[in-house]
Amino acid sequence: MSHRMSRRELLAAPGAVAVARRAEGAQGIGRRDVVRRHNPVLRAMDPRSPLSVGNGEFAFTADVTGLQSIPDEYEKTTPLCTQSQWGWHSFPIPDGMTPDGLRMEMFDTYGRAVGYATSAKGQEKLFNWLRENPHRLNLARIGLRLDGKPLNAAVITGVEQTLDLWTGVLTSRFQLEGVPVTVLTCCHPERDAVAARVDSALVTLGRLSVAIDFPYGSPGVNASDWNSPARHETNLSTPGLSSVSIERRLDGDRYWVSLGWTGGARVAKQGPHAVVLAGRQLEFVCEFSGRKGQQQPLPAKACMAASERHWAKFWSTGGAVDLSGSTDARADELERRIVLSQYLTAIQCSGSAPPQETGLTCNSWYGKFHLEMHWWHAAHLPLWGRTPLLERSMAWYERVLPVAVEKARKQGYKGARWAKMTDLNGRDSPSGVGEMLIWQQPHPIVLADLCYRAHPDRRTAERYAEIVFQSAEFMADFAVERDGRYVLGPPLIPAQENHPPRETWNPTFELSQWMQALGIAQQWRGRVGLPPVAKWDDVRKRMSPLPVKDGLYLAHENCPQTYTQRHRDHPSMLGAYGVLEGQGVDKETMRRTLKKVMADWQWPDTWGWDFPMTAMTAAKLGEPEIAIEALFIKSPKNEWLPNGHNYQRPNLTLYLPGNGGLLAAVAMMAAAWDGFPKRGWQVRHEGLNAWL
């Protein structure tokens, strides 16, 4: 298990409310009303839309009982997991193999052979082991038992479950065999702890108990293997009057669980990997740690009080948007998405490492995070006045910088080359696509710049200087000078991933990225008293022009078929103006491109962040009607569930880049670009920063 920075540093309170650039109206927004009118309420089991509590470092996802009592009902849609930033597991590597033993596929790069981990041929075992390990771990399943047996969904009736966003407390009311049950659930804001209280006559009668079950690790979506009891260990200390410590061992990984309770309950181990809490009162806290000797568990009441204080402060600071005065029929739904996205990105995308695309809910891509998505998860935080929540994960880049430098060195490049799909150690995962992406490379520069805009001081400049400079050094070295200009690729795969690497060069979005990020890097040198780097300026000024055909921007220079055969996946050319500043962009060419994309793109084959990306481009071009239309494009990838998650497909029921992208788009639409139509929309906002 890996360890994180100190919680005192990570959990610094969000900054005070910033002055809005153009807040409408003199009276402040009634934030509590805006938030609570979008509290998620479930009146039936919805396996696509379970509710979660969390704090950015840890999250617990519950079924309609407020715990994880009927997991089989959710397993094939959104598995119920308990996950943390530090909780990972690795299978033993196959005998005779080493992590560095993978053979590289060689790509000609202007007369120089460069190796990439793109081919599994003849080395499938090692290739797959590297992709699947480490995988994020489901730390435990915590659920109710009736008369000592797991619950059956058929006996649960009368469901009414509400997540109070203002307090972070989940209240679940239902009946078991006609007897009312109420469960309160929350997560401590500063500790990896879930607290719950179960009230019912069934508790008083001794018929209800709580079971904590522990799985072996798995690279699957559920992050759990429940069928390998001999491959892991669960060891209890001698129970005290109100607490017990549990040690977990999985191959070379260990973690510890502290279970504390109030009242005359008792705890006992049942089977090799289950602990059951029973008594006439069920009020408990279950805390997890990657290190031995964690703190003593707090009482459940103290956890709930801390949750209430934390979330009231969260919602009372930072940015806010109120659309209640609008007459457009879409306004209430947009406001719901905005509020729920703030909550979800706070509990899922604001921790000490970049988040996986499903956050801490369940696993996607083995629980690993995709660095090209970090902007979409977290760039909105400074725009909403919550820069400290972004700065938590920026520390990860500082820690793994040597790994990125070594990756660049092995490929013959200067600087630091950032991984695409990785984990806490920063090692790249082999992939026929991911290894060839480059658009994650400028993200640390741009994200650091957002932090600097919030805190424009010497301390911020010095903290991120090495990340910025090493990232820029690789970018300048990766660009190749040909015929009086600098080109990107081949080989590469652009953000629109359906292009072969040996036939792809000069993608529109990445060209503009290179120009913008190298400019920021030069400014950064001035911030720390250093002179500019001549090579960086030369690359930026002589970068290839953005490719155009028939008055439209192309996916890349060698793709004249962008709008006939390649009009699926991300319309990434739009991101050069909106997500980016627009370096090298002609506005009217981009306007034609926007309208062509809106008319002809295959939207079912896109992803959740493509809709806010399109909206940002439209808003910056002064096309607010198109911006709103883009946010509400009818597509399977643009469905927003009752819990606020952005649904993508049956095995990916949540996709947090869609939530983060929406918040970035709304911040800029409201505060910078007049991005809402005048007719039908009344937008009141405060605390937003127009920094893109």
On whether residue 119 sits in a domain, the answer given is yes
Residue type, 32: R
**Residues 336 and 248 grouped into a single domain:** no
Higher pLDDT residue, 294 or 637?
A: 637
pLDDT of 576: 98
**Residues 285 and 325 grouped into a single domain:** no
Mean pLDDT of 571-584: 97
On whether residue 28 sits in a domain, the answer given is no
Mean pLDDT of 161-188: 98
User: Hunting for tokens 């992590």 — which residue is that?
Assistant: 99
Mean pLDDT of 69-91: 98
- Cα dist from 368 to 84, 216, 235, 492, whole Å: 12, 18, 28, 22
| Segments forming the whole domain that contains residue 448 | 320-686
pLDDT of 10: 39
On whether residue 33 sits in a domain, the answer given is no
Give the three-state DSSP class for 566.
coil
User: Hunting for tokens 């695309």 — which residue is that?
Assistant: 357
At residue 447's C-alpha, the angle toward residues 341 and 535, to 5°, is 155
**Residues 139 and 103 grouped into a single domain:** no
Give the domain CATH number at 185. Answer: 2.70.98.50
On whether residue 402 sits in a domain, the answer given is yes
Residue 3 has pLDDT above 90, yes or no: no
Give the Cα separation of 86 and 108 in Å (integer).
39
- Cα dist from 464 to 260, 448, 467, whole Å: 41, 6, 5
Give the Cα separation of 430 and 428 in Å (integer).
6
Select from 316, 345, 369 the last residue of a domain.
Answer: 316
Give me the chain's average pLDDT, please: 95
Instruction: Dump pLDDT digits (tens) for 429-469.
Output: 999 999 999 999 999 999 999 999 999 999 999 999 999 99
Q: Determine the number of helices (DSSP H) and then strands (DSSP E) in the chain.
A: 17, 31
CB 314, CB 179: distance < 8 Å = no
Residue 682 has pLDDT above 60, yes or no: yes
On whether residue 452 sits in a domain, the answer given is yes
**Residues 422 and 470 grouped into a single domain:** yes
Select from 278, 293, 316 the last residue of a domain.
Answer: 316
Give the chain's domain count. Answer: 3
Give the domain CATH number at 669. Answer: 1.50.10.10
Give the Cα separation of 430 and 133 in Å (integer).
11
Sign for the CA dihedral angle at 13, 17, 21, 25 comes to: positive
Residue 375 has pLDDT above 90, yes or no: yes
Give the three-state DSSP class for 689.
coil
**Residues 297 and 431 grouped into a single domain:** no
Nearest to 153 by CA among 67, 76, 64, 77: 64
On whether residue 3 sits in a domain, the answer given is no
pLDDT of 27: 61
User: Hunting for tokens 């000609």 — which residue is that?
Assistant: 108
Residue 134 has pLDDT above 60, yes or no: yes
Give the Cα separation of 75 and 98 in Å (integer).
34
**Residues 296 and 429 grouped into a single domain:** no
DSSP per-residue codes, 603-623: GGGS-TTHHHHHHHHHHHTT-
pLDDT of 264: 85
Token representation of residue 101: 């033993």
**Residues 213 and 301 grouped into a single domain:** yes
pLDDT level of residue 183 (50, 70, 90 thresholds): very high
Nearest to 362 by CA among 138, 657, 141, 186: 138
Count CB atoms within 10 A of the CB of residue 168.
29
pLDDT level of residue 18 (50, 70, 90 thresholds): very low
On whether residue 31 sits in a domain, the answer given is no
Residue 642 has pLDDT above 60, yes or no: yes
pLDDT level of residue 24 (50, 70, 90 thresholds): very low
Residue 119 has pLDDT above 60, yes or no: yes
Residue 254 has pLDDT above 80, yes or no: yes
**Residues 264 and 334 grouped into a single domain:** no
Instruction: Dump pLDDT digits (tens) for 193-216.
Output: 999 999 999 999 999 999 999 999
Partners of 681 in the β-ladder: none
pLDDT of 6: 41
DSSP per-residue codes, 453-515: HHS-SHHHHHHHHHHHHHHHHHHHHHSEEETTEEE--SS-B-SS--S-GGG---BHHHHHHHH
Give the Cα separation of 261 and 240 in Å (integer).
10
Give the Cα separation of 520 and 439 in Å (integer).
16
Cα 449 from chain centroid (whole Å): 20
Residue 252 has pLDDT above 80, yes or no: yes
**Residues 296 and 375 grouped into a single domain:** no
- Cα dist from 163 to 88, 227, 233, 643, whole Å: 28, 33, 35, 9
Helices 610-620, 624-631: crossing angle, 10 deg rounding: 170
pLDDT of 651: 92
pLDDT level of residue 383 (50, 70, 90 thresholds): very high
pLDDT of 8: 37
Give the Cα separation of 372 and 367 in Å (integer).
15
Token representation of residue 249: 């061992």
Token representation of residue 314: 């969260």
**Residues 367 and 495 grouped into a single domain:** yes
pLDDT of 144: 98
**Residues 306 and 368 grouped into a single domain:** no
Give the three-state DSSP class for 399.
helix
pLDDT level of residue 692 (50, 70, 90 thresholds): confident
Count CB atoms within 10 A of the CB of residue 450.
22
Mean pLDDT of 418-431: 97
On whether residue 419 sits in a domain, the answer given is yes
Instruction: Dump pLDDT digits (tens) for 540-572.
Output: 999 999 999 999 999 999 999 999 998 999 999
Percent of the chain residues topping a pLDDT of 90? 94
**Residues 293 and 378 grouped into a single domain:** no
Give the Cα separation of 415 and 478 in Å (integer).
10
Select from 281, 298, 316 the last residue of a domain.
Answer: 316
Instruction: Dump pLDDT digits (tens) for 27-59.
Output: 699 999 999 999 999 999 999 999 999 999 999
pTM: 0.95
Mean pLDDT of 109-124: 97
111 CB-near residues (< 8 Å, 6+ apart): none
Residue 20 has pLDDT above 60, yes or no: no
pLDDT level of residue 296 (50, 70, 90 thresholds): confident
Mean pLDDT of 648-669: 97
